[in-house]
């Protein structure tokens, strides 16, 4: 059984190890392995702890290993106080295709619905050729909001569109 819980500062090195693995994959995350540093991890863990949400899934065979992580947080300036952005999800390559992405994403959205009435909008970006991700995001309630043409280097150095998507909290209270 997979355990989902909120991340804590002691998870830093485990999340760092996960991101190093995931960055090796073409559709893992939008960073290369050399861009994954302890500072990079700290720079999303801190705002997620202060204004957002960060969840992890532990490896059922080794609970000292994190095999999935998702985070988002409020962007600046203050006018975006109803928004969670900078959303990133990472699932260890050995555990992809087992529904963990959907599981942790669903948990995130349920938590927002039940515990974060201050949040109306959750936003993310994905590459247009990442059809698996777009299908998942659409299935769990995200809507495409447009295209940022020629934004992401794809195969053979062809620039492809970045697709902005958003989900809206049905329990939002103004």
Per residue in 47-97, pLDDT tens? 999 999 999 999 999 989 999 999 999 999 999 999 999 999 999 999 999
Distance CA 152, CA 143 (A): 20
For residues 90 and 19, is the Cβ–Cβ distance under 8 A? yes
Helices (H) and strands (E) in the chain, counts: 4, 8
Residue ranges in the chain whose pLDDT is less than 70: 26-27
Task: Find where tokens 């990133």 sit.
Answer: 88
pTM of the model: 0.95
To the nearest whole percent, how much of the chain has pLDDT over 90?
88
């Amino acid at each position: 059984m997979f355990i989902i819980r909120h991340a804590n500062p002691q998870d830093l090195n485990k999340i760092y190890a996960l991101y190093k693995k995931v960055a090796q994959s073409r559709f893992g995350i939008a960073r290369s392995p050399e861009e994954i540093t302890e500072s990079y991890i700290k720079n999303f863990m801190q705002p997620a702890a202060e204004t957002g949400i960060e969840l992890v899934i532990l490896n059922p065979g080794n609970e000292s290993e994190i095999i999935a992580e998702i985070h988002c947080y409020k962007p600046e300036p203050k006018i975006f106080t109803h928004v969670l952005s900078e959303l990133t999800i990472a699932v260890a390559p050995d555990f992809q295709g087992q529904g963990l992405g959907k599981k942790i994403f669903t948990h995130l959205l349920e938590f927002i619905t039940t515990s974060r009435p201050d949040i109306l909008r959750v936003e993310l970006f994905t590459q247009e050729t990442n059809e698996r991700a777009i299908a998942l995001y659409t299935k769990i309630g995200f809507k495409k909001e447009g295209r940022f043409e020629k934004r992401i280097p794809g195969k053979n150095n062809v620039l492809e569109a970045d697709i902005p998507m958003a989900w809206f909290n049905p329990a939002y209270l103004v």
